[in-house]
Chains A and B, each alone.
Chain A
Amino acid sequence: LAKTTQPISMDSYEGQEVNITCSHNNIATNDYITWYQQFPSQGPRFIIQGYKTKVTNEVASLFIPADRKSSTLSLPRVSLSDTAVYYCLVGDNFNKFYFGSGTKLNVKP
């Protein structure tokens, strides 16, 4: 089970780009990297997933360096509504996955 390490919390201001880094030094060859977002009083929701290099969708970008020992979730021009907890998961379809406590992002006006 690949262990992940994320900052406990981050602060940002509206309009800024936010980058949340997740460390996963013991990532295995078959492991994927997945990020979920959880708004207060709601269940988590899937944001983005990747294996290597860069993945972009309408919500975020995911940057994965060549060694895959870390990954960075990038949120462009955040707004107050992006205040949430962000979870980084690493694993494959045959092993257990681990959400942990995530990173609490606080966006200020």
Chain B
Amino acid sequence: DTAVSQTPKYLVTQMGNDKSIKCEQNLGHDTMYWYKQDSKKFLKIMFSYNNKELIINETVPNRFSPKSPDKAHLNLHINSLELGDSAVYFCASSHATGITYEQYFGPGTRLTVT
């Protein structure tokens, strides 16, 4: 039974399109995150939600908009996709917000913008 799941696993699209990535966790956690990992394995946090409230909002273009309909879901919508958006996007969850709380990561969504 998958703890943190993401859909789709692969996403290939053209520049200028709008796409969404969905994330669900069944761990009962209060906090969820979105991360971006580039080709050099640099992993950077983008957003964090706690109980559907935005906690962390890193310097991310406003083309990226997270939405948390409930504690178990955190979706990422990306408008006007650009070549530089190509990366692997990871969703994660933890019991609460903060480094001392173990984060559980999803399998990732590989986004390729052509």
Let me know if A92 and B99 touch, CB within 8 A: yes
Q: In chain B between 47 and 106, which residues have their CB closer than 8 angstroms to a CB of chain A?
A: 56, 58, 90, 92, 96-106
Let me know if A42 and B42 touch, CB within 8 A: no
Scan A81-103; emit 1 where CB is below 8 A from any B CB, else 0. Answer: 00001010111111011111110
Q: What is the CB-to-nearest-CB distance from B74 to chain A, in angstroms, rounded to a whole number?
A: 14
Q: Count the A residues whose beta carbon is within 8 Å of the partner chain — how many?
A: 27
Cα A45 to Cα B105 in complex, Å, equals 7
Q: In chain B between 9 and 49, which residues have their CB closer than 8 angstroms to a CB of chain A?
A: 35, 40-45
Let me know if B106 and A93 touch, CB within 8 A: no
The secondary structure that dominates the B interface is: loop
Let me know if B107 and A44 touch, CB within 8 A: no
A100 — which chain B residues lie within 8 A by C-beta?
42-43
For B108, give the chain A residue with the smallest CB separation: A43
Cα A32 to Cα B105 in complex, Å, equals 20
Let me know if A93 and B100 touch, CB within 8 A: yes
Let me know if A46 and B102 touch, CB within 8 A: yes
Let me know if B99 and A87 touch, CB within 8 A: no
Let me know if A34 and B100 touch, CB within 8 A: yes
A104 within 8 A of B: yes
The residue from B43, B97, B99 contacting A102, defined by CB atoms under 8 A apart: B43
Let me know if A43 and B106 touch, CB within 8 A: yes
Let me know if B43 and A93 touch, CB within 8 A: no
Cα A97 to Cα B101 in complex, Å, equals 12
For A33, give the chain B residue with the smallest CB separation: B99
Q: Which 8 A-B pairs have the closest CB atoms?
A: A93-B98, A43-B105, A99-B43, A91-B99, A46-B102, A97-B99, A101-B42, A43-B90
| Given contact pairs A44-B43, A91-B99, A97-B99, a sample of 8 additional A-B residue pairs in the complex whose CB atoms are under 8 Å apart | A34-B99, A36-B103, A44-B90, A45-B104, A49-B102, A92-B98, A92-B100, A93-B101
